[in-house]
Structure 1
Amino acid sequence: MSKLLDSVDSPQDLKNIPVEKLPELAKEIRDMLLDTISKTGGHLSSNLGVVELTLAMHYVFNSPIDKFVWDVGHQSYVHKLLTGRKSRFDTLRQYDGLCGFTKREESQHDHWNCGHGGTSISAALAFAKARDLKKEKNDVVAVIGDGSLTAGMAFEGLNHTGHIQSNMIVVLNDNEWSISANVGGMSAHLSKIMTGQVMLKIKQEIGQLLLAVPGIGKEITRYAHKIDEAI
């Protein structure tokens, strides 16, 4: 039996897969991550945790017209698999192979050369401001973890974004983890928000609505739960 992942060489290919099949595709991607990274080395847990998130982003947005900016870039392996680099994935972090981070020279879907934490929001704001000046309409999405969010540059980017009021999206991957477990006031505050009664009530009501979808409600709910774990 052919795998769903075999048919995906671009975000457009991904959009041809029915929503109810995405959990199956997510499993295939995780299997490939485990198999490849066990041989090449790399950031395993960071990428296992953003499989559904990355699928959802590429399913909803229109890359490379819509620009994704991955903070640090170490969690971009799934993004690489979905943007035409699957056949070279076994060269990850090898000499003359795929970079372990996003790299503009590698793909039109990579808009920012990464490697350092905390830069994504400011970079995304630059893309958003350039878009506004050119009177274009594309979306710009920054993906940042709660670990990188403690960086001073991330706060500067948020402050600047709020001042300029350019339209952009910041996705917070709040997994309570950086190189080690997160500490500090920001981490504690985010944990309090995610476990508060209002947030739990919202999650419960959304879950009930998804379950009510005829035929595929359970599958969509399971997929949404995976995305919730990543954000």
Structure 2
Amino acid sequence: MSNFLDNINSPADLKNLKRADLPKIAEEIRELLLQVISKTGGHLGSNLGIVELTLAMHYVFDSPTDKFVWDVGHQSYVHKLLTGRKERFDTLRQYEGLCGFAKREESEHDHWNVGHGGTSISAALAFAKARDLKGKKNKVVAIIGDGSLTAGMAFEGLNHVGHLKPDMIVILNDNEMSISPNVGGMSVHLSQILTGQVMTKFKKEIDQILLAIP
């Protein structure tokens, strides 16, 4: 049986594979995450839950030209595996090993040193405006979880984005995972939207469309 992950040392390698191969790669990534994190420690659940999203991002976008801005950054392990750091992954969170968060000094694919929640949207906005000033056309993508979205800085970032209307993408990773339960009106409103009849019907229709893709 082919081990696809062994042959992926960059996003370009991933793009050379067929879409039908992606579920197998996701399985291999999860096995490696369990194997390494059981020894080094780290954020297991959030990374197990973001495998398909990270694969899709690197399959569709062109990193590092397109910039990914991870909120908090502890969900960037899969991103590290796909961007040339697979051979050192067993040094995760070890002395002089791979950082447990995105780190600019570690890879050209990491554009933002992170650790605190709620910063990704504002940072992505800054990257988008800098890109526009330089006359470039690359994409900028912020990835933020439902927990970080309740941070005041995230609200400020969304407000600023709504005002400036830059060409950027904000992906909400609603994995219902945070250190403590989410609180506040935004959290309640988001939960109502995601569990409502309209969204539930929409999700079912999307699932049917995706399953029909060869």
Cα deviation, residue 212, structure 1: 3.4
Give the whole-Å Cα distance in 2 for the aligned partners of 1:66 and 1:187.
30
| Superposition misfits of 4+ residues, deviation over 6 angstroms | none
Give the whole-Å Cα distance in 2 for the aligned partners of 1:43 and 1:164.
34
Other-structure match for 1:125: 125
Q: Which amino acid aligns with 1:26?
A: A
For 1:48-59, what aligned pairs fall within 5 Å after superposition?
48-59=48-59
Cα deviation, residue 194, structure 1: 1.1
Alignment check: 8 A CA contact 2:150 2:182 kept: no
Other-structure match for 2:148: 148
Alignment check: 8 A CA contact 2:46 2:177 kept: no
Q: Figure out how many residues of one structure are paired with residues of the other and give that number.
A: 214
Other-structure match for 2:25: 25
Other-structure match for 2:71: 71
Counterpart of 2:69 in 1: which secondary structure? Answer: strand
Other-structure match for 2:172: 172
Counterpart of 2:31 in 1: which secondary structure? Answer: helix
Alignment check: 8 A CA contact 1:10 1:82 kept: yes
Other-structure match for 1:200: 200
For 1:1-231, what aligned pairs fall within 5 Å after superposition?
1-213=1-213, 216=214
Question: After superposition, what is the alpha-carbon deviation per residue over 1:74-122, rounded to whole angstroms, capped at 9, x for unaligned?
Answer: 0000000000000000000001100000000000000000111111000
- Residues 115 and 211 of structure 1: is their aligned pair in 2 closer, same or farther, counting only changes over 3 Å? closer
- Residues 206 and 37 of structure 1: is their aligned pair in 2 closer, same or farther, counting only changes over 3 Å? same
Give the whole-Å Cα distance in 2 for the aligned partners of 1:39 and 1:192.
39
- Say which is worse superposed, 182-191 or 29-38, in terms of deviation: 182-191
Q: Under a length normalisation based on structure 1, what TM-score does the superposition of the two structures give?
A: 0.90
Q: Which amino acid aligns with 1:127?
A: F
Structure 1: runs of 5+ lacking an equivalent: 217-231
Q: CA RMSD in A?
A: 1.1
Q: Under a length normalisation based on structure 2, what TM-score does the superposition of the two structures give?
A: 0.97
Cα deviation, residue 204, structure 1: 2.3
Give the whole-Å Cα distance in 2 for the aligned partners of 1:78 and 1:130.
27
Alignment check: 8 A CA contact 2:93 2:99 kept: yes
Give the whole-Å Cα distance in 2 for the aligned partners of 1:59 and 1:156.
30
Cα deviation, residue 190, structure 1: 1.2
- Residues 212 and 47 of structure 1: is their aligned pair in 2 closer, same or farther, counting only changes over 3 Å? closer
Alignment check: 8 A CA contact 1:176 1:187 kept: no
- Say which is worse superposed, 201-210 or 150-159, in terms of deviation: 201-210
- Residues 42 and 211 of structure 1: is their aligned pair in 2 closer, same or farther, counting only changes over 3 Å? closer
Counterpart of 1:68 in 2: which secondary structure? Answer: strand
Cα deviation, residue 196, structure 1: 1.1
Structure 2: runs of 5+ lacking an equivalent: none
Give the whole-Å Cα distance in 2 for the aligned partners of 1:211 and 1:91.
37
